[in-house]
Structure 1
Amino acid sequence: MRWKTYIASAVAVATLTACSTSPTGRSQMLLMSENDLSQMGAQAFSQYQQQLPTVGGAQLNYVQCVTNDIVAVLPPEQRDQNWQVKVFESEEANAFALPGGYVGVNTGLLEIATTQDQLASVIGHEIGHVLAHHANERASTQSATQLGMSVVGTALGANGVAGSDQIMAAMGMGAQYGVLLPFSRSHESEADTIGLQLMADAGFNPQASIELWQNMEQAGGGAPPEWMSTHPSHGSRIAGLEAGMGDAMGRYQRAQAAGRSPSCKA
């Protein structure tokens, strides 16, 4: 059928993109400039500060201390950024890092990440997203997917294909559950791997990452099936962390031998 040819053409258009490689060796599609992403990160950080009150004092000093130790082991181009850290008053157990050098941690997370090593596993994970250019990759993938579907929709309509609305609806579901959500899960797993390495290189005990997710599992309620979620299940995350623990413990031991022994007080 001719509409299948148009779909194949749309897929080809969507894959003619700038290619790169992530820190773990995975092929990536990156369409946006880092300067644009940094500006978007600054804007998002500013908006977040407008939405939630910030907290100073001991909590900010604590989060800043952990962040500084992790930033110290980043590659020079990321390490030399003017990293800004904020603690936000919110019960939601959440944290983030943004392109351009921005880190935010909610007070709710500090109730679950009960040690400096557990907090380092979260901050390392979030900075891992930045190192792996996940914001760029996600935006690029969504743009390419939308472009492909737009081309297909135009082609179906122009050729009077019967049931074109149903075909486009099915493609939309396929893009959501077959491309975008699994893609997000792959980002989370990759950030777990990078974060584990970062915290170990900085001298934080990587075994605390598993303790953190056990805490998360105890604190959390029901969750959607893994295939319908942008994040892996807690069990999947723990299994992935355990798989990388041998390498991480070697990094941790070398960091300790080199004198990296963080002492951040909550």
Structure 2
Amino acid sequence: MRLAMIGLGKMGGNMVRRLRRHGIEIVGYDRDSGIVSGLADECGMLAAGSVADAVGQLTAPKLVWLMLPAGAPTESQIEELAPLLGSGDIVIDGGNSNYKDSRRRGAWLAERGIGFMDAGTSGGIWGLENGYCLMVGATPEVAKIVEPVLKALAPAPDRGWAHVGPVGAGHYAKMIHNGIEYGMMQALAEGLDLLKGKQEFHYDLAQIAELWRHGSVVRSWLLDLTAEALKGDQALANIAPYVADSGEGRWTAIDAIEQGIPAPVLTLALQMRFVSQDEKGYGYRLLSLMRNAFGGHAVKSGGS
């Protein structure tokens, strides 16, 4: 089996490595030619000098997997791919695209006889060794053709991947997954912050996190990663208090509003990321002024 991988960053590159370990031939392309040649030398990936070159090295049905940033990069790449593909060929989007975009793109490609799969992909930099969790949306016919690839990428052939519904369903499931992830991360961060603040108990946060990993109801992979990180540094003095959001948390909150389904934990976790990104802190300055106005509370000076 042969597959083209477009986008060989941290995720795409590791997916190539994992697929090669399972004997799947990969034609790889990235704008950075150094990454392409490096992977070709390392794992026997077939190098491509352009998207057209990558597609040209495939046989029908041609499978092209995209690992690109959501939005315009994925959109323009699909538009470039369409004329290079024919009836029965398949485009797989493994990035974090909005499920609404995936449904639209799937319909647009279907008009041209080209299959489409939206593959919500979780696993990050650990996916190479542990496998990726894959939630995919596609027609049954497309899912069947891509199945060997999904089995190779997943933690095991019989688990960690699923055809969860029609086009759009994969990226929607990943969107909700990331919303839940925001909430879990926020809860762990707040709890450990409270422990750190209880100075009279002199808690060893690394010890507590490690303790919770075994037998507790809050054990999780996120806790595993947190415990490991705390072993090396508990003060985190060199870590900026800034937490980015990839966009999927926003889409989750918007969808909750559209459905009229309360999701306060997921939404508040997203809002807390916004707080960390507010360098000016203008809202908090206003709160301080309000407290002073109605209660005479002191206002701290300083700051930019």
Larger strand proportion of the pair:
2
- TM-score range normalised by the length of the shorter chain: under 0.3
Higher RCO by CA contacts (8 Å cutoff, separation 6 or greater)? 1
Using structure 1 for the length normalisation, give the TM-score: 0.27
Whose radius of gyration is greater, 1 or 2? 2
Using structure 2 for the length normalisation, give the TM-score: 0.25
